[in-house]
Amino acid sequence: MGKLRKRSHSKKIGHKIGEVKMTIYLHCEGFTDYAVIPHILQKALNINDLDIQWITRDMLKKVKTYRKSNISISGHYKLIKSLATYSLLHNCKYIVYHQDGDNNYSENYNKIVCEFIPLKQIGFNCLAVVPKETIESWLLSDENAYPLKPSNPKLPLNPEDLWGQRNDSNSNHPKNIFSKVLKQFNLIDNRDTYAQIAEKINIEILENRCPISFGQFIKDTQELLI
């Protein structure tokens, strides 16, 4: 079912103690994103003993930036610095930060990458996850991830091109289209459903249907392991 177990200090997908060789600290923009991105990371990195720790916004707000680490502070994306501080205090230098493109993909992606520069200079391995336009765009890429081939509506050929007013149910906003796709299978629009679809997605199909943002993500995951 793709459920991820909760822990008191973070949330983690199933790796037994003693098996962990690589740990990543992940912050996502929303809670349904946490259901998707660990599965996508696992597929993209192809590391069997990958340990993904979920770090929430509330947790990061409690973090005092560890100034002795030479982590610079800027007015933008302070949560990235808090994520780096949190991971450093837990002896980890692999961080993943997610934010949807929200009709401003290039600017959002570039801002995150710029915030990574001083962190990389002190040894951090950083990865930006920026779907164009939302994580639902990625979930609308592979018809084989659904119980049957979606037909009413069908999956869009170019899900990255979807956009519209979120509060207009008739618009082509990715969240609206995704909800309509789920309804034809009587699937509830919740975190478990997001996880189930993400778990079944073929990332080669995803890269073909979402070449801009997922193509960049695949390239960046390769650099994460260098």
Domain range annotation of the chain = 5-224
Beta-carbon contacts of residue 204 (< 8 Å; ≥ 6 apart) = none
The model carries a pTM of 0.86
pLDDT (mean) for 96-107: 97
pLDDT (mean) for 89-104: 96
Q: So what's the pLDDT on residue 174? A: 98
pLDDT (mean) for 173-184: 98
pLDDT (mean) for 150-158: 96
Is cis: bond before 153, omega within 30 of 0? yes
Higher pLDDT, 40 or 47: 40
pLDDT (mean) for 159-170: 95
List alpha helices for the chain, DSSP H: 31-45, 57-61, 78-89, 105-121, 135-139, 174-183, 191-200, 203-209, 213-224
State the angle between helix axes of 191-200 and 31-45 in degrees (0 to 180), rounded to the nearest 10: 20
CA–CA separation, 11 and 25 (whole Å)? 10
- Write out the two tokens for 111: 């801002």
Q: So what's the pLDDT on residue 6? A: 35
- Write out the two tokens for 104: 């401003």
pLDDT (mean) for 195-214: 98
106 beta partners: none
Is pLDDT of 108 > 70? Answer: yes
96 beta partners: 26, 127
